[in-house]
Chain A
Amino acid sequence: SQQGEEDPQALSIQEGENATMNCSYKTSINNLQWYRQNSGRGLVHLILIRSNEREKHSGRLRVTLDTSKKSSSLLITASRAADTASYFCATAPHNTDKLIFGTGTRLQVFP
């Protein structure tokens, strides 16, 4: 079974708008990572946030982590058409070295 579930499953916005994706997970984690996948290709690592961190920024990306609620959010500000992709959260549970991916959010950004 998958550890993480993303919400929403799909999101459509206009260029310039912000996009927010949420990830919920089930067990305690060491860290949580976000990846982007363009149309059935390989994944690109976006950001890693450790369990003792609450917020992290990278360019137009902002990630928050709430371990008490077992949830994380990814905010993409001022979105561009090139941001169109699927976004996955991946968790590193305490009791395993495996990276477990969520179900993904498909983001469509219209020009």
Chain B
Amino acid sequence: KAGVTQTPRYLIKTRGQQVTLSCSPISGHRSVSWYQQTPGQGLQFLFEYFSETQRNKGNFPGRFSGRQFSNSRSEMNVSTLELGDSALYLCASSTQWGAATDTQYFGPGTRLTVL
């Protein structure tokens, strides 16, 4: 089976712009979770989608949003980018919802740089 794929792998944006990141889960996986990784804050949970519904959300401002499509692919959007949004954004898929209860399979990440 193909692994989790994320596009694009690298992205450079300027403050105030918006960005959309994409994640394709492993075939058959219906749960997709998103994480932000920065040197200062480490790995932080953003949100989880299962069957096109957001099931869980982390402590991030409303500028961070996401959605999931019927084929389980997920997109994450960040509006009005700030310098502090520069990070590695990781998506993970699993068979069940409730990211904590099941093995998470991670993609390679999208490295976002905000200038």
Contacts and interface: CB of A to CB of B under 8 A. Distances in A.
Nearest to A32: B100
Give the bracket for the number of chain A residues in contact with chain B. 20 to 34
A14 interface: no
A97 B104 contact: no
Interface of B: 4, 33, 35, 42-45, 48, 55-56, 58, 88, 90, 92, 97-101, 103-109, 111
Contacts of A88: 43
Contacts of A43: 90, 92, 104, 106
B99 A33 contact: no
A101 B44 CA distance: 7
A99 B92 CA distance: 11
A104 B104 CA distance: 17
